[in-house]
Amino acid sequence: MRVDFEQFPKAVQTLSALYELNEGSVKTDWFRAFKDDSTVPPLGVQLTVIDSEYDFFWKFRDVLLLNDTYRMEYDELKREFEGKEMVEYREAKNEFFQKLMNTSEFNKL
């Protein structure tokens, strides 16, 4: 979720009422991560101030929407780690997104 700087405190308050703060993630005046581990699959929500240091998650979404190959690769990664340790999945997911960050599609956004 992306908001203006002025909206950030209210958005943090609203999301905090709905989700647990992801304590394992970075917490700044421009970024917060929330989670709900009770859903299948677990849900992660990233809140960023538009044009801030951490305002790049939307690029991942757009690249995946525009590129079937990357989307299928990500879906396969999720299937591969189904039922396995979340720590291992998150490491593999991080590697996948690091790779996406080096693509021309990501860098054009």
89: in domain: yes
Instruction: Flag whether pLDDT at 72 surpasses 80.
Output: yes
Residue 85: per-residue pLDDT: 87
In DSSP terms, which residues pair with 44 in a beta bridge? 35
Alpha helices in 23-85 (DSSP H): 57-66, 68-80
109: in domain: no
Total of domains in the chain: 2
| pLDDT band at residue 86 using 50, 70 and 90 as cut-offs | confident
Q: Are residue 49 and residue 12 in the same domain, yes or no?
A: yes
Q: Are residue 65 and residue 46 in the same domain, yes or no?
A: no
- Roughly what angle, to the nearest 10 degrees, separates helices 86-101 and 57-66? 80
| pLDDT band at residue 40 using 50, 70 and 90 as cut-offs | confident
60: in domain: yes
Domain range enclosing 97: 56-104
Q: With pLDDT > 90 as the criterion, what percentage of the chain qualifies?
A: 87
50: in domain: yes
Q: Are residue 22 and residue 12 in the same domain, yes or no?
A: yes
